[in-house]
Structure 1
């Protein structure tokens, strides 16, 4: 029987259902990304805190489970424990991400973390080199500007803690320039990004990982540091999507950290 041309055509609900289904998948992907990042960051922090507390007390001849005979930490002890906590947390985080990727992807864990290039991916070397040259200027300008806006100025002529010995200084630089970029990129633009890209699409995945990255850097200065890192987080997400690889993200992250530290430690005019 032919349809009556005077009647409006029946609406096909399949399009609406598909859109709702896609939105639901994207929402679940964002939730999974958030839970995955929070769990791994929290686990790494708790394990590092336990290791540093027990290990440092043992080295100082104290019972880590008793308050007897305990006195306030001296400045050198406090600086050493803070540095050890940061370094151990980043090391544990990197290990947890690798273990999680191996459990979820099996022998294909390198591809899951974007450590191998998919077909047809890449960014011309000239464009990547140009980004590495121009980015520090933009990043430092944004960091100093947001610091002033939030009342937490970032200035030159900064000094490291005088309680750190040469070994501690080397370890601090290694953590800031190597270990932290590697561990954080393995988590954010590696494991978490891969989960979002499957169901949330590149735009939402880049935005979500940027927010999670900034939230992970909340500190006593309030929103100053997270806001100062937002452009970097977005750029790292774009770079991960555009190249399909993780190593350019690690490189830009490490390069940004190095340039900011060098600028802060340089003598001001």
Structure 2
């Protein structure tokens, strides 16, 4: 996992650094003390571009690895085919997808209260953001991140763990790795642990879905739907 994430991050940083500098007419190889200040908004756009490209490269690396290792069987490797019957009734799966965001919001809110962090309190999008930037950010949070992260966690890593572990151990292992990967920088509010703790139930639910259905698409759908529900809750007026 560190190799996948590290490689995707380095590729994204290099592309944004060189590409954005060339577009702005800046020599990307200038030393830091000679680089012109590009402004706060340009920096924010570059950060968003890095986040988006990181997910795209991550998904590409996972898919490329699966294709290299299993050839035509790459879909089965990542649970993207339909060879295995769906072990979960469609009605139950639909209920999980519909009801889970409510439980997730309650858990995240309770976690924030325990750790003394703010969640959903006065959050607003910056008025300086362009509609294109908002659309790109939403696509990143609701589509790109769920697809890339599920390809890695409940796709490649789940498959490898399942070859040596039972279902319960695999679910807990992938959930723990997923949560730990979201540890933020240490801060006075929660010491950076609030986010991984808040994500642990979601990670367990995603692992159970992967095991019960034998497919990755339900995990991607639940991950993206949960992210969208949180965004709507945080940004809802009033």
* Same-fold call, TM cutoff 0.5: yes
Q: Note if 1:131 corresponds to 2:91.
A: no
The separation in 1 between residues aligned to 2:131 and 2:237, in whole angstroms, is 20
Residue number in structure 2 paired with 1:236: 206
Q: Which has the larger radius of gyration?
A: 1
Residue number in structure 1 paired with 2:45: 80
The separation in 1 between residues aligned to 2:37 and 2:114, in whole angstroms, is 35
SS where residue 199 of structure 1 aligns?
A: coil
In the TM superposition, residue 91 of structure 1 has moved relative to its aligned partner by 0.4
- Which 4+ stretches in 1 moved above 6 angstroms? none
The residue correspondences of 1:61-100 to structure 2 (distance < 5 A) are 61-67=25-31, 68-100=33-65
Q: Note if 1:216 corresponds to 2:181.
A: yes
The separation in 1 between residues aligned to 2:127 and 2:12, in whole angstroms, is 24
Aligned residues: 232
In the TM superposition, residue 121 of structure 1 has moved relative to its aligned partner by 3.4
Q: 1:48 aligns with which of 4, 9, 12?
A: 12
In the TM superposition, residue 73 of structure 1 has moved relative to its aligned partner by 4.2
Residue number in structure 2 paired with 1:260: 230
The residue correspondences of 1:175-194 to structure 2 (distance < 5 A) are 175-194=140-159
Structure 1 residues 3-26: Cα deviation after superposition (integer angstroms, max 9, x where no partner): xxxxxxxxxxxxxxxxxxxxxxxx
The separation in 1 between residues aligned to 2:77 and 2:2, in whole angstroms, is 19
For structure 1, the 5+ residue unaligned runs are 1-36
The separation in 2 between residues aligned to 1:119 and 1:237, in whole angstroms, is 16
SS where residue 34 of structure 2 aligns?
A: coil
Q: 1:59 aligns with which of 23, 34, 46?
A: 23
Q: How high is the TM-score relative to the length of structure 2?
A: 0.93
The separation in 2 between residues aligned to 1:162 and 1:79, in whole angstroms, is 13
Q: How high is the TM-score relative to the length of structure 1?
A: 0.82
Structure 1 residues 78-99: Cα deviation after superposition (integer angstroms, max 9, x where no partner): 2101110100000000100100
The separation in 2 between residues aligned to 1:96 and 1:162, in whole angstroms, is 35
Q: 1:227 aligns with which of 177, 185, 197?
A: 197
Pick closer, same or farther for the CA change 1:238–1:170 going to 2, 3 Å.
same
Residue number in structure 1 paired with 2:136: 171
Residues 58 and 64 of structure 1 are in contact (CA less than 8 Å); yes or no, is this contact kept in structure 2?
A: yes
Structure 1 residues 197-247: Cα deviation after superposition (integer angstroms, max 9, x where no partner): 111121111111111111222223511111111000010001000100000
